[in-house]
Amino acid sequence: MGQQKKVRKAVFPVAGLGTRFLPATKAVPKEMLTVVDKPIIQYVIDEALEAGIEHFVFVTGRNKHIIEDYFDIHFELEQTLRERSKQAEMTLLANQLPKAGTVSFTRQQEPLGLGHAVWCAREIVGDEPFALLLPDMIMKNEGKGCMKGMIDLYAQSGGNIIAVEECAPEQAHKYGIVGAGEPVGEGFRITGMVEKPAKGTAPSNFFINGRYILQPEIFKILETQERGAGNEIQLTDGMLKLLKEQDFAGYHFRGTTYDCGAKDGFILANVAFALERADIRPTVEDGFKALLKGL
């Protein structure tokens, strides 16, 4: 258990078209839409950094060059800030920038699903375990971040880790659900997985929230994985095959996940994170109260 390889790399599948946010995403990737004053992708990167991730692998698509530019130096902007003595803004940009050589980009030429996007990162990840963070899911928590908790569980259990949250049992048919077995470290053994089970048939009320730690053997499975739901290569189908060969543990994340790929989740995330900001909370809170009062 103590000899498993360290999780150093994280994969971020950012090739999606963001059709639920048209027309905005015709020009701006959904990952670059802002929650308060930071792009969605920055929240996800911050979570990975807190967990100790050292290398960030983006699986991109057409018209996603803005993401690559975001993680680069903007000479003209920095020069202007320097001339105007905007030290706070310069520090903010410097803290957001990953170290040189720690970010890689690869293309998913066709929209063939999450499983295919993960497979596209195989040459960069290599023969080592890796984290997978869906870039439109951002987490709000009181203590340690979701991925940090998963890394801690991985140190105890090894194998593969999937982050889960609890939903009302009658809502389980809307999610990917895992079966919960005996306790493992700070988590539990996963006995099975099912995508959107029929009402009343879910093995538990633990739903997958978009964070994973996977062993590299998943790449070989995804290479020959047949297309599933939506005529796409589904990651869940690949993980079910890997489950027959390797252990999976569930990390019970106790916090709130906002699906910023959907309009309602995106708006709720902006409200939640705005109310955490001491500099804008008074004005924002009063404005929200006035709006709600008028309903």
pLDDT of residue 24: 87
What residues contact residue 184 under an 8 Å CB cut-off, 6+ apart?
153, 156, 157, 247, 249
CA distance 98 to 5: 23
CB-CB contact of 71 with 103 (8 Å): yes
CA distance 220 to 239: 11
CA distance 54 to 73: 19
Q: Where are the alpha helices (DSSP H) in 14-100?
A: 40-50, 65-70, 75-83, 87-96
CATH of 9-261, one of 1.20.140.10, 3.40.50.10440, 3.40.640.10, 3.90.550.10: 3.90.550.10
Q: What tokens appear for 173 in the block?
A: 């048919």
Q: Where are the alpha helices (DSSP H) in the chain?
A: 40-50, 65-70, 75-83, 87-96, 114-119, 122-125, 146-157, 217-223, 235-243, 263-274, 281-293
pLDDT of residue 1: 46
Long-range contacts of 21-28 (CB under 8 A, 24+ apart): 21/261, 21/263, 21/266, 28/66
CA distance 28 to 20: 13
**Cβ-based neighbour number of residue 198 at 10 Å:** 9
Domain ranges across the chain: 9-261
User: pLDDT tens, 60-72?
Assistant: 988 888 999 888 8
pLDDT of residue 175: 86
Which residues in the chain show pLDDT less than 50?
A: 1-2
User: pLDDT tens, 236-254?
Assistant: 899 999 999 999 999 999 9
pLDDT of residue 246: 94
